[in-house]
Amino acid sequence: MLALLLLLVPLQCCAANSVALREVVPYASTGSGTEDPLGAFGAAALLSLPSDGLAVASFGAGLWVLELATPHIRARRHRSVLSPGHSATSLASLPGGCLAVGGDGVRLVNTSTRSANFEGTSVSEISGVNALLASPSPGIGLAIGADSGLHLLGEDAVDCSAPLLARSANSTLMSNDSDLQNESIAGMLSPGLLPGRFVYALVQLPSGEIVAGTDDGIWILNRLDVKVAPSAVLAPGSHVASLLPLPGGGLVAGTLNGALIFRSQDLRPGGRPRATLAKGSAIWGILLLPDDDGLLLGTSSWSAGSKDRGALLFSASAWQSTPPAEPSVALSAGAVVWALALLPHGGSGFSIGGVGAASVAVGGSRGVELFDLADLRTKVELGYASWGVAL
């Protein structure tokens, strides 16, 4: 798994980047270092839960759920769902209240109750899972991006309304001749789509097309079907580690050398990105902020001369201009940032109309850090930083 290389291979980090960034301090964090599992192993993926909680996938500490309260976001306690030793790298929310957790295979976990099966129920033993996408296609429940390509699980295999403990850990394999329109599909499509490709990211565009970020560029699929060739392959040769659809039909693609910005008209054969942001940095997470369309990039060093810059915030005018301007704000400065998530409620001490302001969760080598979105904008304008408390 691509991001895991950062834990295993020492990287060259040389001179600092020329642009001075204003650093903003989180108002809450899980802590860092060996005393905290998330800080020790890193937060690889984040997913906001309907119950005002945050699911955190960790490379070496399994899946954790941070139980949050509003309007003051404080973790009442850490709850380990998958025991330490499980590698968790990706998350997806499924109908019925279940969470799909990818890493060493794929497990389903019910996070809505404390009496859930904390180990989860195995529905796939595919190794090297990097990305999960709840499938929009009839009969298909989950798309799995892995080091061995793109695999599919049927709706029945990820049906959270059925008793999880009664489900077999091994799904029935289907051949490439299987009828994907058959709603009774219950097994896995194998060997899957994009054989021979490492699939690191999966998203669906507003047009309904599926986009896969791979070790050889961006592959656009009209539908999840092994019999259909990609409609376009963009940025061939690029390692694409993260993807984010834009509301207007465009796409942001995070590579090992910056984030590529595509307009909707660029997503065609031969299409080229309009611009590249944060050149020299690997881009692991991408988040579009509400209301003002600020773009947040989770980065790490990768090329010689780069360094860990944390999460870089580009204003809408900065990343949409031609050529794009540089970021002015860094969250979790100096850290590796693998994941970003927006928490729709909660805040660092105030509420509007009884509802806490939105917060941004940043996951990476320091565990999880929380930033109040409204407070962040105010402090950035005034040149201050908001101070935090440990969760």
Q: What is the pLDDT of residue 49?
A: 84
Side-chain-side CA neighbours of residue 58 (13 Å): 28
Q: Give the position of tokens 């996938």.
A: 57
What is the average pLDDT across 373-381? 66
Q: What is the pLDDT of residue 356?
A: 46
Least confident span in 103-117, 135-149, 293-307: 103-117
pLDDT tens, position by position, 103-138: 988 988 876 655 444 567 888 888 899 999 998 788
Q: In the predicted model, is pLDDT for residue 281 greater than 80?
A: yes
Look over the chain and give the mean of its residue pLDDT values, rounded to a whole number.
77
Kindly state the tokens that stand for 212: 């896969």
What is the average pLDDT across 66-78? 50
- Quick one: which of 121, 92, 193, 183 has its CA closest to 151? 193
Kindly state the tokens that stand for 310: 């944390």
Greater confidence, 255 or 386?
Answer: 255
In 10 A of CB 166, how many CB atoms?
7
pLDDT tens, position by position, 9-60: 443 333 334 456 777 778 777 765 555 677 778 899 999 987 668 888 988 8
Residues 63, 383: Cα–Cα separation, whole Å: 36
Kindly state the percentage of the chain with pLDDT values over 90.
Answer: 37
Least confident span in 44-58, 150-164, 290-304, 327-341: 150-164
| Exposed/middle/buried for residue 44 (C-beta within 10 Å: 0-12, 13-18, 19+) | buried
- 23, β-bridge pairs: 330
pTM exceeding the 0.75 threshold for the entire prediction: yes
Check if the beta carbon of residue 26 is closer than 8 Å to that of residue 370: yes
Q: What is the pLDDT of residue 160?
A: 72
Q: What is the pLDDT of residue 69?
A: 56
Q: How confident is the model at residue 82 (pLDDT cuts 50, 70, 90)?
A: low
What is the average pLDDT across 206-226? 91
What is the average pLDDT across 267-271? 95
Greater confidence, 160 or 175?
Answer: 160
Q: How confident is the model at residue 272 (pLDDT cuts 50, 70, 90)?
A: very high
End-to-end Cα spacing for the chain? 29
